[in-house]
A and B are shown apart, each in its own frame.
Chain A
Amino acid sequence: MASELLRLEKVCKSYNVGLPTETEVLHDVDLRLDHGEFLALMGPSGSGKSTLLNIVGLLDRPTSGRLLIKGEDTSALGDAAITHLRGHTIGFVFQYHLLISAFTARENVMMPMLVDRRFPSAEIETRAQQLLAQVGLEKFANNLANNMSGGQQQRVAVARALAMNPDLVLADEPTGNLDTKSADAVFELMRQVNREAGTSFLLVTHNMELARRCDRIIEVVDGRIHA
């Protein structure tokens, strides 16, 4: 049996708490994600997918309920501990604004390692170059982010998400802005990483064809999970 990576227990998320405009976006969400699992998260716009992703990614906190990562309850952790856990456990791939434009492709991949002072300095550049080779972009290492196509940027973003050897990669519609060919290439890249390194993926997508190629599909409707 696969070991548990994260678990959500009765997670609720409300905005404008205590105000007349209080809105509950997530209602009693329970979710388990195992090590090495490749999960698709689907649902209509406004259903609460992004909110769920932000909570799982430790970018946001639930209003009630618990999030456990590798058995550790995150609700009691302070900002510094949350930041550290996020940096070491989770990688992100966003739909828009994929890379930091001031840096080259290689530097973007180096960033998470530079942020984490404990990463051995001598290995940073070598590892970044290896990751770029893994996503097939070693020749574009010195290109500034703005000088690359959307598909290339997204592949660099995947390489960056993998820089710290995370247990989980959260990808928010990573193929949403790409043509079919590029979308397929990026998806296959993530699937390959999942198979070879055992990295878990939680992929938000509207593309049913891609979702079907995942291990499991979770559907979010009106803030509730329909597995």
Chain B
Amino acid sequence: MNRWLPFEWVTAVRFLREGRLQTIFIIGGIAIGVAVIVFMSAMLAGLQANFIKRVLTSQPQIQLLRPDQVARPLRNGPGEIEDAVVQRPSQRVISIDQWPKIRSQMLAMPEITAVSPTIAGSVLAVRGDSSRAVTLTGVEPDTYFNIVRVPDYIVAGQARLTSDDIVIGIELARILGATVGDKLNIQAASGAIRVLTIAGLVDFGNKGTNQRATFVALRTGQSLLGMIGGVTTIDMTVKDIYAAEEIAKRIEAANPVEADSWIATNAQFFTAVRAQETSNTLIRLFVGLSVAFGIAAVLVVSVIQRSKDIGILRAMGTSRGQILRVFLLQGGLLGFVGSLVGAAMGAAALIYWHSIARQADGSELFPLILERRLFILTALLATVTGLLAAMAPAVRAARLDPVVAIRG
């Protein structure tokens, strides 16, 4: 016995050690619960990080567009009322008003990290007898590639965009029977035609996107879509991705543009993430509750088994508070030790699962994220759960009448 340790600590440890089998079983139960929490939390964090990375590197976090064009009824004079039904005008592809000024304003905002003007419109990609309607995106590669990481998705060739280059999706290349270095005839609705060279093929991991996506230099895009000096969107990234919606709303309120955040445009994805988080929280809650009940049950039995010991301790001058702390400590220790074992089990299971779970292309299903914070929080939570679970048995032990306790 270490005489330097407080009485409560020494007694709690000894009581746990003496009821070895009971202690081992409950620590095993706590460890399994903690392992489930660690495993699930770390895996879901990894999966979410993976999804978010994919979503956010293949699309802008905020996109500024020209507001929808609306019909402006003409009135001849006061008191004249417009018709009840006003036909919505067709939306022409036209430039954002004074976009260089808006870009400068966006660049001045501290929460925005990258701004890139782009032009997008529908064109026809023709090669030999085959043709395909595609979305032509004219970009400034230097800034745009910081927002949509096209070079990361290149599977053949390179993300080079000189005025005669075009980068296309792999599905489009397959449909047109084209590959890197081939010439592609691009025809715009306005009648403009350009012959461009395929510089690279991209794979965004989505068949529809891979069929439609084409990238050219901004000036090439402007010339093909007949909008010299104009842009249809301003794409941006922000420092805090989860603040994108709020920033978008602020921009919209202060500028004559429509601002779409990635959160609004990926509402389904966000719903899925939230549903996943809710189910994870519920599982954690119920695992935590079952762990707490397990600890409480073991300690209630321990109080009954040790009632004579408690009586003797009280007779030798142990206060109610000291008895209370002996049993609280047991709960805390069970939670803490169980959480250490459980965290190790959870981490081992996660490492094993990470090594065998693969995506269809052979890449990892989720990045292995073993944050120290998760382990510290789990240990803290398990210890607090143990302390709380021990409260009722500890109070019962402290309230034991020493006469009754000694008599057994």
Contacts and interface: CB of A to CB of B under 8 A. Distances in A.
Interface in B1-52: 1, 3-4, 6-7, 10-11, 14-15, 17-18
A110 B312 contact: no
B95 interface: no
Interface stretch (A2-10, A86-94, A201-209): A86-94
Contact of B312 (A87, A94, A104): A94
B17 A115 contact: no
B403 interface: yes
A212 interface: no
Interface stretch (B76-84, B196-204, B253-261, B315-323): B315-323
Interface stretch (A29-37, A76-84, A217-225): A76-84
B403 A54 contact: yes
B10 A87 contact: no
A115 B309 contact: no
B309 A102 contact: yes
Contact of A114 (B7, B314, B402): B7
Dominant SS among interface residues on chain A = helix
A122 B363 CA distance: 62
Contact of A88 (B309, B314, B317, B408): B317
A101 interface: yes
Given A83-B317, A116-B317, A100 B406 contact: no
A57 B312 CA distance: 12
B312 A83 contact: no
A59 interface: yes
Interface string A19-55: 0000000000000000000000000000000000010
B317 A84 contact: yes
Given A83-B317, A92-B316, A102-B15, A115 B408 contact: no
B316 A103 contact: no
B127 interface: no
Contacts of B315: 57, 59, 86, 92
A206 B26 CA distance: 45
Contacts of A54: 403
B408 A97 contact: yes
How many A residues are at the interface, by size bracket?
35 or more
A87 B316 CA distance: 5
A180 B108 CA distance: 99
A132 interface: no
A160 interface: yes
B17 A164 contact: no
Dominant SS among interface residues on chain B = helix
B313 interface: yes
A97 B317 contact: no
B212 interface: no
Contacts of B183: none
A91 B315 CA distance: 8
B402 A59 contact: yes
B316 A97 contact: no
A114 B3 CA distance: 7
Contacts of A16: none
B326 to A, nearest CB: 11
A226 B216 CA distance: 115
Nearest to B19: A102
B253 to A, nearest CB: 65
A84 to B, nearest CB: 7
B308 interface: yes
Given A59-B402, A83-B318, A97-B408, A111 B7 contact: yes
Interface string B113-133: 000000000000000000000
A205 to B, nearest CB: 18
B317 A103 contact: no
Interface string B262-306: 000000000000000000000000000000000000000000000
A100 B308 CA distance: 9
A80 B321 CA distance: 9
A107 interface: yes
B403 A60 contact: yes
A112 interface: yes
B343 to A, nearest CB: 28
Contacts of B17: 102
B1 A115 contact: no
Contacts of A121: 3-4
Contacts of B316: 87, 91-92, 111-112, 115, 160, 164
Interface string B315-351: 1111110100000000000000000000000000000
A100 B312 contact: yes
A115 B9 CA distance: 11
Contacts of A125: 3
B318 A100 contact: no
A102 B322 contact: no
Which of A88, A100, A110 has most B Cβ within 10 Å? A100
Name the 5 nearest CB pairs between A and B, nearest first: A87-B317, A102-B18, A102-B14, A114-B7, A112-B316
Given A60-B403, A96-B408, A115-B322, 19 more contacts: A59-B403, A80-B319, A83-B317, A83-B318, A83-B319, A83-B320, A86-B317, A97-B309, A97-B406, A100-B312, A102-B17, A106-B1, A107-B1, A111-B313, A111-B316, A114-B10, A115-B7, A117-B7, A164-B316
24 contacts: A59-B315, A79-B320, A80-B319, A83-B317, A84-B319, A86-B315, A87-B316, A87-B317, A96-B408, A97-B408, A100-B309, A102-B309, A103-B1, A107-B1, A112-B316, A114-B3, A114-B6, A114-B7, A114-B10, A115-B7, A115-B313, A116-B317, A160-B316, A164-B316
